[in-house]
Structure 1
Amino acid sequence: MKKFDVSVLTVSVLIFGLAVIGVSQAKGTTTDTVAAKIGNTTITQTQVYDALKVKSGPSVMTQLVAAELYRLEAQAQGVSVTDQDLDKLINPIKEKLGTPEKFQEYLDEKHTTEQEFREKTRLILMRDKLLEKAFPPTEEQIKAYYEKNKDKYEKQTLEQARPDIVDKVKDKNRRANIDKWLEDLHKKYQVQIMDPALVEKEKKE
Structure 2
Amino acid sequence: MDNQESQRKEEELKNAAEQETNTHEDNQHTTESTIASPNAAGGAPLGGSTPPPPRKSGNGAWIALSAVLAILLVIVAIKPVFGGGNNAAVATVNKVDITKEDLYEEMLKSGGKTTLDNLITQQLITQEAKASNVTVTEADIDEEINTLKASFGTDEQFNAALAQYGVTLESLRKDAETQVKIRKLLEPSITITDDQIKEAYEQNKASYGTGEEIKASHILVATQEEADAILKELKDGADFATLAKEKSTDTGTKDNGGDLGFFGKGVMDPAFEEAAFALEVDQISDVVKSSFGFHIIKKTGFKAATSPTFEEKKEEIRKQLLNQQIQEKSATWIQEIRDKATITNTLEEKTEEETDASANPDAAVSPEASAAQ
Q: What's the TM-score once normalised by structure 1's chain length?
A: 0.68
In structure 2, how many angstroms separate the alpha carbons of the residues matched to 1:55 and 1:65? 18
Bigger share in strand = 2
Residues 148/128 of structure 1: CA separation in 2 closer, same or farther (3 Å cut): closer
Q: Which has the higher contact order (CA 8 A, sep 6+)?
A: 1
Corresponding residue for 1:156? 309
1:5-154 → structure 2 map (5 Å cutoff): 5=59, 7-9=61-63, 10-12=66-68, 16=72, 31-90=86-145, 93=149, 96-98=154-156, 103=159, 109-133=164-188, 135-139=189-193, 142-147=194-199, 149-153=201-205
Q: What's the TM-score once normalised by structure 2's chain length?
A: 0.41
- Cα offset for 1:193? 1.8
Bigger share in helix = 1
Stretches of structure 2 lacking an aligned partner (at least 5 in a row): 1-56, 77-83, 207-307, 355-373
Residue 181 of structure 1, aligned match among 333, 336, 344: 333
- Cα offset for 1:42? 2.0
Give the number of equivalent residue pairs.
183
Conserved in 2, the CA contact under 8 Å of 1:32 and 1:46? yes
In structure 2, how many angstroms separate the alpha carbons of the residues matched to 1:14 and 1:61? 17
| Root mean square deviation of aligned Cα | 3.7
In structure 1, how many angstroms separate the alpha carbons of the residues matched to 2:165 and 2:118? 17
Stretches of structure 1 lacking an aligned partner (at least 5 in a row): 21-28
- Deviation per CA, 1:86-136: give whole Å up to 9, x if none: 2234457499335xxx95x76555444443332222122222222223x32
Corresponding residue for 1:171? 323
Residues 137/199 of structure 1: CA separation in 2 closer, same or farther (3 Å cut): farther
* Identity within the alignment, %: 18
Residues 44/107 of structure 1: CA separation in 2 closer, same or farther (3 Å cut): farther
- Deviation per CA, 1:32-69: give whole Å up to 9, x if none: 34332223122222222222222222321222112111
Residue 190 of structure 1, aligned match among 342, 347, 354: 342
Residues 48/128 of structure 1: CA separation in 2 closer, same or farther (3 Å cut): farther
- Which structure is larger by alpha-carbon Rg, 1 or 2? 2
Conserved in 2, the CA contact under 8 Å of 1:15 and 1:60? no
In structure 2, how many angstroms separate the alpha carbons of the residues matched to 1:82 and 1:156? 33
Amino acid at match of 1:11: A
Structure 1's consecutive aligned runs of 4 or more residues displaced over 4 angstroms after TM superposition are 105-109, 197-201
Amino acid at match of 1:116: S
- Cα offset for 1:182? 0.6
Residues 33/131 of structure 1: CA separation in 2 closer, same or farther (3 Å cut): farther
